[in-house]
Amino acid sequence: MRIATWNVNSITARLPRLLAWLESSGTDVLCIQETKCTAEQFPTDQLRELGYESAVHADGRWNGVAVVSRVGLDDVVGGLPGGPEYDGVQEPRAISATCGPVRVWSVYVPNGREVAHEHYAYKLNWLEALQDAVAGDAAGERPFAVLGDFNIAPTDDDVWNAAAFEGLTHVTAPERAALAGLRELGLSDVVPRPLKYDHPFTYWDYRQLCFPKNRGMRIDLVYGNKPFADAVKDSYVDREERKGKGASDHAPVVVDLNV
């Protein structure tokens, strides 16, 4: 079974590449972030033609998450139970579903903007609510994973230059402590750090030739419980999908399971 996560940075802009990638990659379940569309605008029909069911939680603004699956799609929950609001709204940043033998969450963690910004406090509160929401599944016997754009680099090795990020979000101790909190629940990062070229970063800014210079970050993560981690037989970042015209600024992260 092949499961992937991908921040597409607008599913409308990325649709031809998304459909082609699903066909070529053999992915069974894809967790999508930053759809930037309403649920009605989501390409459900086009995905159905490829054999995928869709579950979408989106409101048309800059957020939006989805799970698409060709191995079943049940027990869908849109939203983060107990999650905080921002500007009076609980943003569409999480959706969970059961796909065959595996339960997954697709998450788009708030960016945080700047450490002194109220969005940073919102990010930490959101991550705390995520821990509470996934604790039961994390401790269960069914393979379970939280996949998505966490907007956190787990270690200094997960950014191209730690000094360049000093004092910025994505690398602060409280954010990394939130990831540690997920690990304390029994979840583990099942994709190796980008210490070799075949396990590269997952995000490169469009500006300043960041991708050609490989000035990236690893912020798209797969955190699985023990049954999930034990089933992993391979994982990789599809760096090729970041290349070329019309690419997202994120690359898909792919995990193969023996389930």
- 223 carries an active-site annotation: no
Query: Per the annotation, does 166 bind a ligand?
Result: no
Burial class (CB within 10 angstroms; exposed 0-12, middle 13-18, buried 19+) of 86: middle
Report the alpha-carbon distance of residue 95 to residue 232 in Å, rounded.
22
Query: Per the annotation, does 111 bind a ligand?
Result: no
Query: Per the annotation, does 75 bind a ligand?
Result: no
- 75 carries an active-site annotation: no
Say what angle helices 173-184 and 118-138 make with each other, to 10 degrees. Answer: 10
Q: Which two tokens stand for residue 168?
A: 């910025």
Count Cβ neighbours within 10 Å for each residue of 247-256 and write b for 16 or more, e otherwise: bbbbbbbbbb
Query: Per the annotation, does 249 bind a ligand?
Result: yes
| Gyration radius (Cα) of the chain, Å | 17
Query: Per the annotation, does 250 bind a ligand?
Result: yes
Of the residues 28, 149, 238, 256, only one is catalytic, namely 149
Closest Cα to residue 9, out of 36, 37, 29? 36
Q: Which two tokens stand for residue 209?
A: 């030739």
Of the residues 28, 57, 108, 120, only one is catalytic, namely 108
Query: Per the annotation, does 151 bind a ligand?
Result: yes
- 132 carries an active-site annotation: no
Report yes or no: 57 and 64 within 8 Å, Cβ to Cβ. yes
- Which residues are known to be catalytic? 108, 149, 250
Binding residues for Mg(2+), by number, are: 7, 34, 149, 151, 249-250
Binding residues, by number, are: 7, 34, 149, 151, 249-250
